[in-house]
Chain A
Amino acid sequence: MQVIQTDVLLIGGGLAGLRAAIAARRRGHDTIVLSLVPAKRSHSAAAQGGMQASLANSNKGMGDNEDIHFADTVRGSDWGADQDVVRMFVNTAPKAVRELAAWGVPWNRVERGDREVIINGEKVTITEKDEAHGLITARNFGGTRHWRTCYVSDGTGHSMLYNVNDRAIAENIPVHERMEAMALIHDGERCYGAIVRNLISGELLAYVARATCIATGGFGRIYRVSTNAIINEGMGAAIALETGVATLGNMEAVQFHPTAIFPAGILVTEGCRGDGGLLLDGEQKRFMPDYEPEKKELASRDVVSRRMEEHIAAGHAAKSRFGDHLWLDIRLLGKKHIDTKLREVKDICQYFLGVDPVSQLIPVRPAQHYSMGGIRTNYRGESQQLKGLFAAGEAACWDMHGFNRLGGNSVAETVVAGMLVGEFIADFCDKPENEITISTALIRDCWQKESAHLQGLCIGGGENPFGLIREMQNTMTELVGIFRHGDRLQQAVDKLQLLLQRSNNLHVASQARGANPELVAAYRVPRMLKLALCVAYGALQRTESRGAHFREDYPQRNDQLWLKRTLARWPDADAILPSLDYEELSVMNMELPPGWRGYGAKDFINHPDAPRREQEIEQLRQSMAGASRFELQNMLMPYEQLMPERYRRRNARLGENERGEIEIRETGSGEKQ
Chain B
Amino acid sequence: MNNIPVREERTLRFHILRHNPQDSESVPHQQVFEIQEADSMTLFIALNEIRENLDSSLQFDFVCRAGICGSCAMIINGKPGLACRTLTRDLPEDIFLAPLPVFELISDLSVNTGKWMRAISERLETWVHNRQEEVDLQQLEAPMEQSLAYSIYELERCIECGCCIAACGTAQMRDQFVGAVGLNKIARFRLDPRDEREDTDFYELIGDESGVFGCLTLLGCEDVCPKELPLAAQLAYMRRKMASV
Contacts and interface: CB of A to CB of B under 8 A. Distances in A.
A173 to B, nearest CB: 11
Report which residue of B66, B125, B195 has the largest number of chain A beta carbons within 10 angstroms of its beta carbon: B66
A163 B194 CA distance: 13
A322 B1 contact: yes
A249 B37 CA distance: 42
A169 B3 CA distance: 47
B29 to A, nearest CB: 14
Interface in B137-156: 137-146, 148-150, 152-153, 156
A516 interface: yes
Nearest to B146: A109
A272 B181 CA distance: 30
B23 A262 contact: no
Nearest to B70: A41
Interface stretch (A140-148, A349-357, A387-395): A349-357
Contacts of A110: 146
Interface in A304-348: 318, 320-322, 325, 340, 344, 347-348
Contacts of A134: 143-146
Contact of A264 (B40, B140, B146): B40
Nearest to B139: A652
Interface stretch (A99-107, A369-377, A582-590, A592-600): A99-107
Interface in B175-196: 189, 192, 194-195
Interface string A629-673: 000000000000000000101111110000000000000000000
A231 interface: yes
B17 interface: no
B137 A95 contact: yes
B20 interface: yes
Contact of B52 (A102, A109, A466): A466
B118 A108 contact: no
B132 to A, nearest CB: 9
Contact of A169 (B65, B118, B189): B118
Interface residues of A, number: 90
A425 B4 CA distance: 52
A191 interface: no
Interface stretch (A119-127, A154-162, A440-448): A154-162
B223 interface: no
Contacts of B39: 321-322
A353 B114 contact: no
A158 B22 contact: no
A46 B69 CA distance: 8
B199 interface: no
Given A202-B22, A351-B85, A102 B130 contact: yes
Contacts of B189: 104
A167 to B, nearest CB: 6
A162 B52 contact: no
Nearest to B45: A264
A396 interface: no
Contacts of B126: 166, 169
Contact of A200 (B2, B22, B192): B22
Given A200-B106, A514-B20, A651-B138, A38 B117 contact: yes
B23 A514 contact: yes
B127 A104 contact: yes
A97 B13 CA distance: 49
Interface size class of B (residues with CB under 8 A): 35 or more
Contact of A37 (B42, B56, B61, B153): B61
A93 to B, nearest CB: 11
Nearest to A511: B57
Given A41-B69, A46-B69, A106 B150 contact: yes
B121 interface: yes
A518 B107 CA distance: 14
B59 A103 contact: no
Interface string B57-97: 11101111111111100000000000001010000000000
B104 to A, nearest CB: 9
Contacts of B139: 98, 652
Contacts of A201: 22
A570 to B, nearest CB: 28
A94 B22 CA distance: 48
Given A104-B192, A200-B106, A99 B135 contact: yes
B141 A325 contact: no
10 contacts: A39-B114, A97-B141, A108-B149, A109-B144, A134-B145, A135-B143, A163-B127, A353-B1, A512-B107, A515-B59
Given A511-B57, A513-B22, 6 more contacts: A102-B128, A106-B192, A178-B112, A201-B22, A352-B85, A354-B3
Ranked 4 nearest A-B pairs via Cβ? A38-B114, A134-B143, A514-B22, A512-B57
Interface of B: 1-4, 6, 20, 22-23, 39-40, 42, 51-52, 55-59, 61-71, 85, 87, 106-107, 112-115, 117-118, 121-122, 125-128, 130, 135, 137-146, 148-150, 152-153, 156-157, 159-160, 189, 192, 194-195
Interface of A: 37-43, 45-46, 55, 94-95, 97-99, 101-104, 106-111, 133-137, 152-153, 155, 158-159, 162-163, 166-167, 169-170, 175, 177-178, 200-202, 229-231, 262-264, 266-267, 318, 320-322, 325, 340, 344, 347-348, 351-355, 363, 466-467, 508-518, 647, 649-654
